[in-house]
Chains A and B, each alone.
Chain A
Amino acid sequence: MGRYVIRRLLQMIPVFIGSTFLIFFMVYALGDPVAALFGDKAPDPATAARIRKDLYLDRPLWEQYLHYMGQIFQGDFGTAFNGQPVLDLMASAFPVTLRLTVVAIAIEVVVGITLGVVSGLRRGKAIDTTLLVLTLVVISVPTFVTGYVLQYVLGVKWGWIRPSVSPDAPWNELLLPGLVLALVSLAYVTRLSRTSIAENAKADYVRTAVAKGLPRRRVVSRHLLRNSLIPVVTFIGTDIGALMGGAIVTERIFNIHGVGYQLYQGILRNNSPTVVGFVTILVIVFLVANLLVDLLYAVLDPRIRYA
């Protein structure tokens, strides 16, 4: 097990470097961070050159990257062009998005798996077909459409919730945004667990469990469910990173000042340190989530643990 973890950690390193470098490349090489500082005005060449030197921008890209990463590992994410340390921005933004993601994952797990199990156990029945069509529809309607429509209907028309989230983003106000964020993944989780349950229900060991005279509840909960959830766990794990990245849209709709909001502002204003800093953290979150999934996978499936 220990060796397995170490091997996975080592495999993460090139992925981390690759992903962050790619973003770094896009922001610093394709864009022009200095021009952005001056907005619409043409920069004074001398000033621009000084800034470039200060910001290490006159060096080759790989040197800039190394310099940047070196600082990050000392805990210095640089300063946004408006003078605010990026770390401060993060400290205010990440807890909010984290809460939003937790709400979304919780909804995804509880509702998605429940619906998937119900559907998979009643394959071909009316409820299964209905759920299947419903999931297709949910997958097809883009998040920003569901977001606005739900906000309009629940928040404006019926007045059940506040249409926009207050700055400190308490849990209860994040319920609807969390649902919106989770919705597409929720549909995927439902379909995935349905397929998995339906496939495993035909497995020999389930037939054995029935032949042992176990009550149906026990056959499902102890024998069928655990085997079927293995692929679902994988999906949910990889989804954590995607949800945090995808929160941009949801946060914009509900005016939540989280990671997505800061990133969006950073990108619009060409605020390179903010963008690269936030993305780096997101990539780390994604990789750690993947690692956790792998470990959980090994816990759930002894065949992998001992391989």
Chain B
Amino acid sequence: MLLEVRDLHVEFTTRDGVAKAVNGVTYAVDEGQTLAVLGESGSGKSVTAQAVMGILDVPPGRITGGEILFQGKDLLRMKEEERRRIRGAGMAMIFQDALSALNPVLTVGAQLGEMFTVHRGMSRKDARAKAVELMDRVKIPAARQRVGDYPHQFSGGMRQRIMIAMALALEPSLIIADEPTTALDVTVQAQVMDLLAELQRELNMGLILITHDLGVVADVADKIAVMYAGRIVEAAPVHEIYKAPAHPYTRGLLDSIPRLDQKGQELYAIKGLPPSLLAIPSGCAFNPRCPMAQPVCRGTVPPLYQVTESPVPRTSACHFWKECLHAHA
């Protein structure tokens, strides 16, 4: 396995108390595989990714438990210097908003070339040539002329391509893309997503795609992990989850996608709001919003039930996963 996250716990100390952002997340990605992590704002999907990358703000953040195995080695037990060498070279991250994620006062060539001078010890001149090569690779027109430009001189889509180029620079085995297309125009989204998927196939990388866009997921993902209140509530191969979700929250998400064949009908919405991480409801965190909730949901935290074993394991954290599966079918 390329990356395995096991029972990860992350907390944030805030003015108003301790926020439990990640409460026992377990997932795995293999080479050439795409895992989509789905969830609302505050579900802990980005925090998990930041913990994997090692870019969590500490403090206020704190990893309180779990393991992160990258190519078999636990990142959390590594020395900082060892981890640093992995960042960028072994795994890389693509951020949501390229305008703020790129340094405004350095040229894109300098920011791309830095990967090679720092990690590979290349000369500045060679690094610049590499930067041009990378920009060509992500299909930025006139790369040679634009390598000396600053981030704000590029369009949103081009900037995101530069982000992708930066992540791919050292051909890492794992890419984490945190909402890579959210900040872009709809017309550009597909192009950027296609480029990312194409490069992933070419380099046989593992990809963790953090998103809320179920449409994107269906196109590119192999597996889906749905997160709610810092836990994975359902994990399944992509086509199975669309066919029949095994968790009421996943079902709510799927039902709230507007569909052409239901034009004119009122759009479904999950009632209520995401829980406060300072006071996560007891039992199943989703119970106050769940249409299927029973007294047991408030009393007992549901374990991860094994829905199917093979070929790919499928899990759900719902006491009534069977009812949920059948209700949809």
Interface set of A (CB-CB < 8 Å, partner B): 202-205, 207-215, 218, 222-223, 226-227, 300-303, 306
Q: Are B55 and A207 neighbours in the complex by a CB distance under 8 Å?
A: yes
Which B residue's beta carbon lies closest to that of A305?
Answer: B150
Q: Are B87 and A213 neighbours in the complex by a CB distance under 8 Å?
A: yes
Interface membership of B86, Cβ < 8 A: yes
Which A residue's beta carbon lies closest to that of B169?
Answer: A212
Which A residues are CB-close (under 8 A) to B119?
213
Q: List 15 A-B contacts (CB under 8 A).
A: A203-B100, A205-B104, A208-B93, A211-B53, A211-B87, A211-B88, A213-B87, A213-B89, A214-B118, A215-B84, A223-B106, A227-B104, A302-B104, A306-B152, A306-B153
Q: Are B84 and A301 neighbours in the complex by a CB distance under 8 Å?
A: no
| Segment 113-130 of B: residues with Cβ below 8 Å from A | 114-115, 118-119
Which B residue's beta carbon lies closest to that of A202?
Answer: B57
Q: Are B115 and A208 neighbours in the complex by a CB distance under 8 Å?
A: no
Tell me, rounded to whole Å, the shortest Cβ–Cβ distance linking B63 to chain A. 16
Interface membership of B195, Cβ < 8 A: no
Q: Is the interface of A mostly helix, strand, loop or mixed?
A: helix
CA distance A132 to B220 in the complex (A): 52
Q: Are A300 and B95 neighbours in the complex by a CB distance under 8 Å?
A: no
Q: Which of A202, A205, A214, A303 has the most CB of B within 10 A?
A: A205
Q: Contacts A218-B118, A302-B150 hold; do A210 and B87 have CB atoms under 8 A apart? A: yes
Which A residues are CB-close (under 8 A) to B53?
211
Q: Are A227 and B100 neighbours in the complex by a CB distance under 8 Å?
A: no
CA distance A40 to B290 in the complex (A): 95
Q: Which of B88, B93, B103 contacts A205 (CB under 8 A)?
A: B103
Interface membership of B73, Cβ < 8 A: no
User: In the complex, which range does the number of interface residues on chain B fall in?
Assistant: 20 to 34
Q: Are A214 and B95 neighbours in the complex by a CB distance under 8 Å?
A: no
CA distance A33 to B313 in the complex (A): 97
Which B residue's beta carbon lies closest to that of A212?
Answer: B88
Which B residue's beta carbon lies closest to that of A226?
Answer: B105
Tell me, rounded to whole Å, the shortest Cβ–Cβ distance linking A232 to chain B. 14
Interface membership of B147, Cβ < 8 A: no
Q: Are A213 and B86 neighbours in the complex by a CB distance under 8 Å?
A: yes
Q: Are B153 and A227 neighbours in the complex by a CB distance under 8 Å?
A: no
Extra contacts besides A205-B104, A211-B92 (12): CB < 8 Å: A205-B102, A207-B101, A209-B103, A211-B87, A212-B118, A213-B85, A213-B87, A214-B114, A215-B84, A215-B118, A227-B104, A301-B104
Which B residues are CB-close (under 8 A) to A303?
104, 150, 152
Q: Are A301 and B105 neighbours in the complex by a CB distance under 8 Å?
A: yes
Q: Are B118 and A211 neighbours in the complex by a CB distance under 8 Å?
A: no
Q: Contacts A204-B95, A204-B97 hold; do A212 and B115 have CB atoms under 8 A apart? A: yes
CA distance A306 to B153 in the complex (A): 9
Q: Are A300 and B114 neighbours in the complex by a CB distance under 8 Å?
A: no
CA distance A222 to B97 in the complex (A): 21
Which B residue's beta carbon lies closest to that of A303?
Answer: B152
Q: Which of B55, B152, B166 contacts A210 (CB under 8 A)?
A: B55
Tell me, rounded to whole Å, the shortest Cβ–Cβ distance linking A274 to chain B. 45
CA distance A273 to B102 in the complex (A): 55
Q: Are A212 and B105 neighbours in the complex by a CB distance under 8 Å?
A: no
Q: Are A302 and B105 neighbours in the complex by a CB distance under 8 Å?
A: yes
Q: Are A208 and B103 neighbours in the complex by a CB distance under 8 Å?
A: yes
Q: Which of A203, A211, A227 contacts B93 (CB under 8 A)?
A: A211
Which A residue's beta carbon lies closest to that of B83?
Answer: A213
Which A residues are CB-close (under 8 A) to B95?
204, 207-208, 211
Nearest first, the 9 A-B pairs at minimum CB distance are A213-B88, A213-B87, A204-B100, A205-B103, A302-B150, A212-B88, A204-B101, A211-B93, A208-B101
Q: Are A223 and B55 neighbours in the complex by a CB distance under 8 Å?
A: no
Q: Are B105 and A211 neighbours in the complex by a CB distance under 8 Å?
A: no
Which B residue's beta carbon lies closest to that of A218?
Answer: B118
Q: Which of A208, A213, A227 contacts B84 (CB under 8 A)?
A: A213
Which B residues are CB-close (under 8 A) to A213?
84-89, 118-119
Which A residues are CB-close (under 8 A) to B100?
203-205
Tell me, rounded to whole Å, the shortest Cβ–Cβ distance linking A210 to chain B. 5
Q: Are A302 and B152 neighbours in the complex by a CB distance under 8 Å?
A: yes
Tell me, rounded to whole Å, the shortest Cβ–Cβ distance linking A201 to chain B. 9
Which A residues are CB-close (under 8 A) to B153?
306
Tell me, rounded to whole Å, the shortest Cβ–Cβ distance linking A304 to chain B. 10
